[in-house]
Amino acid sequence: MNRRPFIKQLLHISGGTLLASQMPFLLSCKPFDSKEKLGIALVGLGNYATHQLAPAILETKHCYLAGIVTGTEAKEAVWMSKYNIKKENVYNYDNFDSIKDNPEIDIIYVVLPNSMHAEFTIRAAKAGKHVICEKPMATSVADCKKMNAACKAANKKLSIGYRLHFDPFNDQMMRLGQNKVYGNRMDINTDFSFTLNDPNSWRTKKKFAGGGPLMDLGIYCLQGCIYTFGELPTELRAKASTKNSALFKDVEGTMEWEMTFPSGKANCKTSYETPFASYLTAKTEKGTLELNPSFNYDGLSGSTPDGPMQVQNVNQQALQIDAFALNVLNDTNTIVSGEMGLRDLYLIEKIQESAAQNGKLIQLNDVPNYLDLRPLL
């Protein structure tokens, strides 16, 4: 098949079937488990849980919002009324472990500051619940290992909140890049940044965040490079180029790094000190692949050397949550596992190590080998 008709067919098929290869069962397969819908409890009712996850759960086919865990008593009545949550399904951080006795809650979604991810993932697993943990998985590789071990010991599934693996635009970047459709070599440039001016934000405090924008925004750039190449980096170097050291005295305000892959190079940037940016550009031998914006919740746009990506924006969180519900119901593996989360923390620690040593070149000889590979449709 000639390249241009082939690409048009690829774009048409992948958009029309909505990530068919990664979720072949999402819209058609009836779960074998007798329970039609799984109950989810959100742990932490901050901005993301309130404005993204809770509304998304309403759009899922295989789960519902069954419970909440919050340290703010004033939120309880509001959430109970809005989402028809039973009083007995409302918990706080002190009595959280008693959730083990609640058969209506099957999945715990941890949406807390980064430093609390490990504790509540481990407690959820010990309570006999499957877990979705927001990214970054934790603030250290050591904690990631403990989280994976706890879920394995409890025979419970663990998924990381990497919503873009369920987005059609990023899905096409994966397919086109990994399958070398436009050539064997690529050079990627990517940036995810916004301006953060709140000195009281937990994101500016290392004990809560584990780092600056690298842990929050930069992880999308890191992921985007890996899943577009479909490869693991072999070396990297980084520098923290913070401008406002008064505000960002505990974490970096800006981080820049470059990575070498078997098929090319990637230059990455993330910042809390610059105007909004969200793009992933891959220059190939036969033209440019681009997502701009690339990492947003919606409003994404993409182009290829053969024209615009002909796919639609979706509710990323709803598809992500539904996919995990079906992993549980059908006893299948999530594509965004704890092993992937550990891999990313390993690379984040290497980026931080390089930046702390004035851009020292770090050889990556033992990157945890976990990739989400997308075959052609």
Catalytic residues: 135, 220
The answer to whether 181 touches 235, Cβ cutoff 8 Å, is no
Q: Report which of 95, 160, 89, 91 is spatially closest to residue 121, judged by C-alpha positions.
A: 160
CA atoms 340, 267, 170, 218: torsion sign: positive
Between 338-356 and 141-153, two packed helices, what is the crossing angle to 10 degrees? Answer: 170
**Which tokens in the block code for residue 336?**
């965004």
Cα–chain center distance at 243: 27
DSSP string, 147-197: HHHHHHHTT--EEE--GGGG-HHHHHHHHHHHTTTT-S-EEEEEEEE----
Report the distance separating Cα 216 and Cα 213, nearest Å: 5
Report the distance separating Cα 12 and Cα 215, nearest Å: 35
Q: Phi and psi of 191, rounded to 5°?
A: -150, 130
